[in-house]
Amino acid sequence: MLKKLPIGAAIATALLLSACQSTQQAVQGKEDLLAAAGFTIKPANSSARLLAMKKLPPHKFVQQTSGTNVVWLYADPTICQCVYFGDQTAWANYRAMVFQKQIANEQQMTAIMNQNSFDFGPW
């Protein structure tokens, strides 16, 4: 029972730390990935662009078709007041980066949980 206590404490600590991340930090992290994946940032710097941005759900992906091309839109009315535009390649890059980030987070959690799993008592 006592051996499981450090694992439980590690999980609780990790959950607590992840809950402490503010919404703004989460959005900023997502936007950093979008830019790195190849999305284009266009500021809502005119009344027409502001109106168009307000029609999109904030901080959500929207898929649109422009002619024969699929365009992914991500509106940010709170931090940058801009819209991110991406094609299928940028979308695939973004999804791959999110997946890699999840794997890295899981590996870090596993390492944290297993760091105290060896019983040094007999040694």
Digit-coded pLDDT (tens) for 41-93: 999 999 999 999 999 999 999 999 989 999 999 999 999 999 999 999 999 99
> CA-to-CA distance for 63 and 78, rounded, in angstroms?
21
Give the number of domains in the chain.
Answer: 1
Contact 71, 56 (CB under 8 A): no
Residue 119 lies in a domain: no
Residue 78 lies in a domain: yes
Angle between helices 23-37 and 88-114 (to 10 degrees): 130
pTM score of the predicted model: 0.67
Q: Which domain holds residue 15?
A: 4-114
Confidence of residue 11 (pLDDT cuts 50, 70, 90): low
Residue 120 lies in a domain: no
Largest separation between any pair of C-alpha atoms in the chain = 72
Listed in sequence order, the residues at least 6 apart from 58 whose beta carbon sits closer than 8 Å to its beta carbon are 75, 76, 77, 78
The mean pLDDT value of the chain amounts to 83
Residue 37 lies in a domain: yes
Residue type, 70: V
Residue 121 lies in a domain: no
Residue 105 lies in a domain: yes
Residue 22 lies in a domain: yes
